[in-house]
């Protein structure tokens, strides 16, 4: 067996009048992430982790924010494309561990729904996915409620030829 680890990170500004989408789940809140697509900070970090583990670059190379095709796009499309691309190279996703950092809203009630949706998107059991939520502890842009961040780490495996 061959194994690879991929790490992804993303940060988005927050602003009124935008939906807050995390892991393809819409969270009711008075501000949402600003971005070219749906600004799903968690799925963007996940795509970077998947592509990185397989040595396939990063989300900006695959889905540039200068390309009008991706304006307002559902980030689940990015995940599907990354999952298909790694599968074509015989990689299988073993597990995902991720962290969302936001001052508000408190995300604990939403973690099960996010975990379930990630399981569906990745095609792996929920037990192979962990979702953590942290606050910014009133420090920096996240702590002041100006931004939201996410980190994702994935493990891939494939049979050696």
pLDDT average per 10 residues of sequence, the chain (161 residues): 97 96 97 94 98 96 88 93 97 98 96 98 98 95 97 95 66
Give the dihedral of Cα atoms 60, 40, 30, 144; nearest 10 deg: -60
CATH number at residue 136: 3.30.1330.50
Predicted local confidence at residue 161, as pLDDT = 66
Q: Structural domain tally of the chain?
A: 1
Closest listed residue to residue 14, CA positions, set 158, 145, 156 = 145
Predicted local confidence at residue 69, as pLDDT = 87
Whether the CB-CB separation of 114 and 40 falls below 8 Å is answered with no
Distance from C-alpha of 115 to C-alpha of 148, rounded to nearest angstrom: 18
Whether the CB-CB separation of 2 and 156 falls below 8 Å is answered with no
Predicted local confidence at residue 64, as pLDDT = 87
Range of the domain at 123: 2-158
Count of Cβ atoms closer than 10 Å to residue 64 Cβ:
11
Predicted local confidence at residue 65, as pLDDT = 86
pTM of the model: 0.96
């Amino acid at each position: 067996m061959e194994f690879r680890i991929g790490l992804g990170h993303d940060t988005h500004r927050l602003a009124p009048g935008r939906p807050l989408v995390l892991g393809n789940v819409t969270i009711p809140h008075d501000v949402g992430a600003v971005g070219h697509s749906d600004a799903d900070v968690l799925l963007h970090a996940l795509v970077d982790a998947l592509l990185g583990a397989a040595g396939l670059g990063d989300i900006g190379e695959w889905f540039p924010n200068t390309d009008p095709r991706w304006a307002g796009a559902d980030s689940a499309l990015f995940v599907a494309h990354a999952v298909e691309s790694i599968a074509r190279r015989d990689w299988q996703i073993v597990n995902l561990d991720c962290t969302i950092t936001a001052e508000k809203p408190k995300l604990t009630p939403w973690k099960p729904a996010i975990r379930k949706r990630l399981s569906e998107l990745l095609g792996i059991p929920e037990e192979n996915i962990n979702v953590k939520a942290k606050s910014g502890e009133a420090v920096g842009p996240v702590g002041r409620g100006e931004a939201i961040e996410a980190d994702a780490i994935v493990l891939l495996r494939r049979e050696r030829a």
